[in-house]
């Protein structure tokens, strides 16, 4: 049992000392003067309280199970020994979840997330792959009971999608997905090739947090170019076909955001501004933490040599993360949204 490891994570992240500081802040007479700031601090306190209480429970439960296990061995009761082992494994899962939460203690980690997917060069092949990735992330979001909303999407010429932007709402959505930014590579026998040849396709994923009111991002009107256009695609329940779509370009950083999911141009512009604030916030985070290293990698060409993960369906079946070397021999399961093991290994890798 990694109970001791969890304790070391607590110490490394300074969980208990952070909670002490928060409790001191709450006792200050002016704590409630800034409502948005006080709500943010209380939310942080709740998270740390839950972590520490869960650790204490796990520690006590572990001792109880071990005592039960030793007693069962002394009495040579095989069924109770098996039961204690099952209980230890279940407890181990809960401890692992706490380990992950220790890593999700950055300011933006608890926030909702914008997820952008762009097809690489290769036409229909890459566009179909981009749609497969979108399906994978939406299945993952559904399994977490997260809500999601299609913000903007451009359909492929024959199949798939050229690009898609999705907003996912759920606790720690950004924290879990933040390491997914990068190039994803697919190798398979093409369903679009009459000669049944093997093809390699690429698509990029870009992840950034949906920032709340407590996070201030200064945007100058003179730095913006706002364009309106007719929504593309087949329309229907997801995308309308009025002239209400909005695209905003932030000139200093060349960041572009767009929204076409609402019939109101005003609402689409408001969504675009929220997305732009989120992108600029994430941009500044990367610049501060890694001096633009991660940002530049994420903007690399969507092609060979830049992929963070490979999904191989032929001649063998394997999904491998090139950063952590974590792999799975069941790509169908991964493409059906069961990506938690990959997300967790990436989080551990980020915090090494």
What was the pLDDT predicted at 116?
95
Helix (H) or strand (E) holding 192: none
- For residue 51, the model assigns a pLDDT of 78
The predicted pLDDT at position 238 comes to 45
Helices then strands, each counted (H, E), the chain: 10, 11
Fold of domain 3-103:
Methane Monooxygenase Hydroxylase; Chain G, domain 1 (1.20.58)
Under 8 Å between Cβ of 169 and 142 = no
- Tens of pLDDT, residue by residue, the chain (352 residues): 455 555 665 665 667 788 888 888 898 878 888 887 788 788 778 877 887 888 788 888 888 988 988 898 888 888 988 898 898 888 887 787 777 777 787 778 888 999 999 999 888 999 999 999 999 999 999 999 999 999 999 999 899 999 999 999 998 899 999 999 999 999 999 998 888 889 999 999 999 999 876 677 889 999 999 999 877 654 444 444 457 899 999 999 999 999 988 888 889 999 999 999 999 988 887 776 665 454 445 445 555 556 899 999 999 999 999 999 999 999 999 999 999 999 988 887 776 6
pLDDT of residue 288: 65
pLDDT of res. 89: 85
Domain segments of the chain as ranges: 3-103, 112-350
CATH topology of domain 112-350: Alpha-Beta Plaits (3.30.70)
CB 204 within 8 A of CB 307: no
Per DSSP, the residues of 95-120 read HHHHHHHHH--STTTTSEEEEEEEE-
Whether the predicted model's global pTM rises above the 0.75 cut: no
In sequence order, the β-bridge partners of residue 115 are 166, 207
Half-sphere exposure of 117 (CA within 13 A, CB side): 30
Q: Give how far Cα 46 sits from Cα of 15, 22, 111, 112, 113, Å.
A: 12, 10, 15, 18, 21
């Amino acid at each position: 049992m990694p109970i001791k490891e969890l304790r070391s994570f607590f110490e490394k992240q300074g969980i208990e000392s952070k909670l002490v500081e928060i409790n001191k802040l709450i006792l200050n007479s002016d704590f409630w003067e800034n409502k948005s700031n006080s709500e943010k601090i209380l939310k942080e306190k709740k998270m740390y309280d839950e972590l520490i209480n869960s650790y204490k429970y796990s520690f006590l439960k572990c001792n109880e199970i071990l005592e039960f296990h030793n007693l069962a061995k002394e009495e040579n009761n095989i069924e109770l020994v098996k039961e204690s082992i099952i209980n230890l494994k279940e407890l181990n899962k809960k401890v692992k979840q706490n380990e992950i939460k220790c890593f999700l203690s950055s300011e933006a980690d608890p926030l909702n997330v914008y997820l952008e997917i762009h097809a690489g060069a290769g036409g229909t092949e890459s566009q179909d792959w981009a749609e497969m990735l979108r399906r994978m992330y939406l299945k993952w979001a559904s399994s977490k009971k997260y809500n999601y909303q299609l913000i903007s999407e451009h359909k492929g010429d024959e199949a798939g999608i050229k690009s898609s932007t999705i907003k996912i709402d759920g606790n720690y959505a950004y924290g879990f997905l933040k390491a997914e930014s990068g190039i994803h590579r697919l190798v398979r026998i093409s369903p679009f090739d009459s000669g049944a040849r093997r093809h390699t396709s690429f698509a990029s994923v870009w992840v950034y947090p949906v920032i709340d009111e407590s996070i201030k991002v200064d945007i100058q009107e003179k730095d913006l170019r706002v364009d309106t256009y007719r929504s593309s695609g087949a329309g229907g329940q997801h995308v309308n076909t009025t002239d209400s779509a909005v695209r905003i370009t932030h000139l200093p950083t060349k960041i572009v955001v767009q929204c076409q999911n609402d019939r109101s141009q005003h609402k689409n512009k408001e969504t675009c501004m929220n997305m732009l604030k989120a992108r600029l916030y994430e941009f500044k985070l990367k610049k501060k933490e890694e001096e633009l290293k991660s940002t530049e990698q994420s903007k690399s060409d969507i092609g060979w040599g830049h992929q963070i993960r490979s999904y191989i369906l032929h001649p063998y079946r394997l999904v491998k993360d090139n950063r952590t070397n974590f792999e799975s021999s069941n790509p169908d399961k991964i493409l059906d949204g069961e990506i938690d093991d990959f997300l967790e290994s990436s989080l551990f890798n980020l915090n090494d």
